[in-house]
Each structure stands twice: as C-alpha cells, then as structure tokens.
Structure 1
Amino acid sequence: MIKNIIFDFGDVFLDLDKAATKRELERLNISEFSEEMLINNLQYEKGLLSSEEFISAYCESFPQLSAQKFTDSWNAILLKFPEHRLRFLQQLSKEGKYKLILLSNTNDIHIDWVKENIGFFEDFKNCFDAFYLSQEINLRKPDKSIFEYVLKEQDLKPEETLFIDDTPENTAAAAEMNIHTWNIDPATEDVVHLFQVKKELF
C-alpha cells in the first residue's frame, strides 16, 4: 500500500516547453556549447555555482549575451501552472492520507521566476510535508544518492512510496531502488488523474 507520494515539479505541476531555451539562444546565434558549459549547467542545478557565476560564464562565452537576455532565454522553458492541479494537491493534503514530498531538479533563476509569476507558489509549497529542490540539497536526479537522501531523511520504505516524474531516466533510477513509479507523459496525461492511472497501487 502506498503511504508516500514523491512528485516532480516541472511537467507534473508546472507546464514546460523544454525546447524553448535552446530555441531562444539560437535566435541569438548561440547553438554550440562546450563540455565545460554543460557541466556548469549540472553544477548550477546542484547549487554548486551561484546565479551570478552561472550567468557570467555564459556572457563571457557569448559576447552577444547580456545577463537579461540570458535570463529571459533560460526562463523561456517555464510556461504556466494550471490551478486545477493546485486544487488536486490541496485536496490530497487536506485528506492527510499520504506523506507528500516534492523532489525537483531546478535552479535559483527558475525558482525566482516561479515565485514572481505563480501567485500561489507558497500555497503550493505548503501542501507538502517535505520540499526538496536540487540546488538546496546539492543533489540531482537521476543520481541514486538523491533518492537515498529522501528515503533516509523522511524514513520512507521504497515499497510504500510512489515517485511521479516525466523523465524516464529519473523514474528508472527510482524503480531500481524498488520505489513504485509513474513516468507521466505531460502531452497526454495529467497528475490529477493519479488515482485512475495507478489505481492498482491504491
């Protein structure tokens, strides 16, 4: 029986356009990225670079970039948060049947945008018993260590836990640890249908 539900954020609650940042940078004639820059992206998600260091690295590599142009391009991936998903989560929280946990690979620039543009972000956050952002815990999916961290921190049993994420590598990593998973397809599925889609677990 499921007692704990771990949710991803992007493309589970917050709609994303994952190709948007690449597309916006290409409009500025930026299409090739060094290995160092790709490593920087991962380091930034783990909170091992500050936003200032991260933005400066891009602007130094591409003189046509300003900090604002880069930030706008970086945030282009973020779309909207449909309120029916908040209502679904609030109802789950109110019922109190499950421990609710958020586990997201994200970064400070994206979270700053969310706080500015999603008026109910604090209401969303308050629905969870634990709220883990990759840059705050210096870990990221699909590394095994992030799942070990959450299981230990929250004293969870994998067989009593469901993890919902749109990225196959992330759900595969969780499944290897005997965590139940839903690799949600944001194009055809909605988290609010959780109890219909995964009814065999509940």
Structure 2
Amino acid sequence: MIKNIIFDFGDVFINLDKEIIFREMIQLGASEHLGPELIDLNNRYEVGQISTEHFISRLSAIYPSASPTRIVDIWNGMLLDFPDERLHFIEDLARQQRYRLFLLSNTNELHIEHVQKIMGKAKFDRFKNAFEKFYLSHEIKLRKPSSAIYQFVLEENGLKAEETFFIDDTQENTRAAEKLGIRCWNLRVGKDDIVQLKSRL
C-alpha cells in the first residue's frame, strides 16, 4: 500500500525547454553536443560544489562572446510556465492528507530563484507548502540518479521503499529508484500529466 509520494519538479510540475541550452550554446560556438567539461560543471553546480559566481565565471571563460547576463538568460531560458491546474492538483492532494508528499529535484540556485520569479512568491509558497519536505539537489549535495539521494530521503523521513511512489520524467532516475524497491512512474512529457496520478497509483 502506497503511503508516500515523491515528486520530481521539472516537466512534472513546471514545463521545461531542455533543448534551449543546446541551441543557444551552439550559436555561441559550442559543438552539437555539450562536452564533458560543461556536463561536469553543471553536475557540480547542481550539488552545490561550486557557487553561482564560479559557475557563471567558468561559462564566461568557455564562451567569451557572451556576457554574464546573457549566460544567465540562456541558462534560465529552459524554465517555462507552471500550469495552475497542477498547483490545484497538488494542493488538493495535500489537503486530503492521504499520503506524505515530498519533492525531490535536481536543480540549482539560479533556476530555483528564477522559478520564484516566474511563479511569483505567493504561488511558489503555496506550491512548496503542499509538501512535507522540499528537497533540492544543490541544498542536500546529492543528485539523481545516485542511489544515495533516494536512500537519504527514505532514511531521513522513516519511509519504507515498498510504501513509496516516485514520479520523474527521466527514465534513468526512475530505474535507479526501482532498484531500491520504490514503485515508480516514468512520466512521458507531452503524453502524460501529473494530474493523472490517481490512475497510476
């Protein structure tokens, strides 16, 4: 019996354009694929190993034709809209008090600050308050799909894997959670929507 639900954030609640960074970086001179240096830089930033200032400085060095402001705009360009129906859905689910609700997101300081601007403080606070815990990778120094991040959430909250349901749009992340005995829904962007959760439980 499911007692706990862990939600991803991007493309589960807030819509994303994940390809914009690739498109924009190519215009700045990057190859068609982001190289290992950029991937490593992003991964370290997402677990809080480097500061926002260092992150922007490194990207500025890699792409000297782009100003720091331009780099931030590109980086935040992937964050789109947050449909009201998804906010109402999670608020209704929280009011029912049937499940313990958690958010677990690979995100960074720049993105979460921009999300608050997109949503507005009141709407963002409503969203955050729907969850018992709100876990962001740059704050807890762990990121999906590492098994350590799922173990951390389970152990810190006294959750049993077999009583826990996890939703994420990235299959690599749901597969990692399934290995721990967590039930998962790999949400397909454009085909599924989190408001359909009831039919998946």
1:26 maps to 26
- 1:184 paired with 2:190, answer no
Rate the CA distance shift 1:180–1:33 in 2: closer, same or farther, 3 A.
Answer: closer
Within a 5 Å distance, the mapping from 1:62-101 to structure 2 comes to: 62-101=63-102
Aligned-partner Cα distance in 2 for 1:81–1:157: 31
1:130 equivalenced with 2:133 (yes/no): yes
Distance 1:153 1:145 in 2: 12
Q: What's the counterpart of residue 103 of structure 1?
A: 104
Q: SS at 1:122's partner residue?
A: helix
2:147–2:176 Cα contact (<8 Å) kept: yes
TM-score if structure 1 supplies the norm length? 0.95
Aligned partners of 1:114, 1:33: CA distance in 2, in Å? Answer: 24
Matches within 5 A, 1:145-164: 145-164=148-167
Determine the C-alpha separation between the residues in 2 that align with 1:183 and 1:58: 32
Give the Cα–Cα distance (whole angstroms) in 1 for the partners of residues 36 and 11 of structure 2. 27
Measure how far apart 1:65 and its partner are: 1.5
Q: What does residue 13 of structure 2 align with?
A: 13
Tell me the equivalent position of 1:172: 175
Counterpart residue identity of residue 110, structure 1: H
Residue 141 of structure 1: aligned partner:
144
Contact residue 85 and residue 191 of structure 1 kept, 8 A? yes
- Is contact 1:90-1:127 (8 Å) kept? yes
- 1:36 corresponds in structure 2 to 37
Q: 2: distance between equivalents of 1:62 and 1:75?
A: 17
RMSD between superposed Cα atoms in Å: 1.1
CA contact 2:22–2:34 (8 Å) conserved in 1: no
Secondary structure of 1:57's partner?
helix
1:22, CA displacement in angstroms?
1.0
Asked if the contact 2:166/2:183 (under 8 Å) is kept, the reply is: yes
Q: Distance in 1 between matches of 2:164 and 2:112?
A: 26
Q: Tell me if structure 2 keeps the 8 A contact 1:24–1:76.
A: no
Q: Distance in 2 between matches of 1:184 and 1:8?
A: 10
Q: Distance in 2 between matches of 1:89 and 1:38?
A: 32
Deviations 1:70-112 (A, max 9, x none): 0011111111000000000000111111000000000011111
Query: Post-superposition shift, 1:62?
Result: 1.6
* Distance across 1 between alignment mates of 2:66 and 2:57: 10
The alignment's TM-score, normalised by the length of structure 2, stands at 0.95
CA deviations over 1:14-73 (Å, ceiling 9, x no partner): 001110111122222333654333211100000111000000001012210111110011
